[in-house]
Amino acid sequence: MLNDCKTAEERFGGVSKIIDRWLEERQQLVKLFCQLTGVHPSAARPVWQSLQTFCDLLVDYASMGHFEVYEQLMLEGKEFADGSDQKVSGLIPQLEENTQKIMAFHDFLNERCDLHELADRATRLGEILETRFGMEDEMLEVLHYAHSPEKSPG
């Protein structure tokens, strides 16, 4: 358990930094989503530039989850050998399916964006992101915060 690190603090520190950076990116994503859907109007930048910025951040966020955060969380759960990794293993295929839906939105914007469809697709994307954030929060709670010397921030 934790045999690759000298101390638990060292282990949690590295994973916590990745998670903190990822959650900051999530906040930016939500902020941009709200601006684009009219919750907080943004008149400063042209719509297409804002959409492209949002799409870039959306793909970065999803990629960081799959290729950094989820992997680290599952490793952390395995290291503790308490079955926590098994409790959330079913979330990975659901998150992969969710990512496909996110990529479909990205492709829609980059290939054939129809402004008449954009509002409906943005609404569906909001629901997709809400589901994703719930699954990710469950993973964080079970695999990281439950083992962390510093418990869940929320």
- Measured distance CA(74)–CA(36) in Å, rounded: 34
- Which pLDDT tens digits describe the chain residue by residue (154 residues)? 334 434 444 455 568 889 999 999 999 999 988 887 775 444 445 677 888 899 999 999 999 999 999 999 999 999 988 999 999 999 999 999 999 999 999 999 888 777 778 888 999 999 999 999 999 999 999 999 887 766 555 5
Q: Which amino acid is at 121?
A: R
What does the pLDDT read at residue 49?
A: 81
Residue spans per domain, the chain: 8-145
> Top-level CATH class of 8-145?
mainly alpha
pTM metric for this prediction: 0.77
pLDDT given for residue 9 in this prediction: 45
Quote the pLDDT of residue 145.
85
What pLDDT, on the 0 to 100 scale, is given for residue 114?
73
Task: Judge whether 65 and 95 are in contact, CB under 8 Å.
Answer: yes
pLDDT of residue 72: 92
pLDDT the model gives residue 153: 57
Residue 48 backbone dihedrals phi, psi, to 5 degrees: -65, -40
Amino acid at 54: F
* Assigned token pair, 18: 């990745």
Residues in the chain: 154
Q: Half-sphere exposure of 68 toward its Cβ, with a 13 Å CA cutoff?
A: 16
List, in order, residues 6 or more apart from 141 with CB less than 8 Å away: 152
Cβ-in-10-Å burial (0-12, 13-18, 19+) of 110 comes to exposed
Rounded distance, CA 126 to CA 70, Å? 21
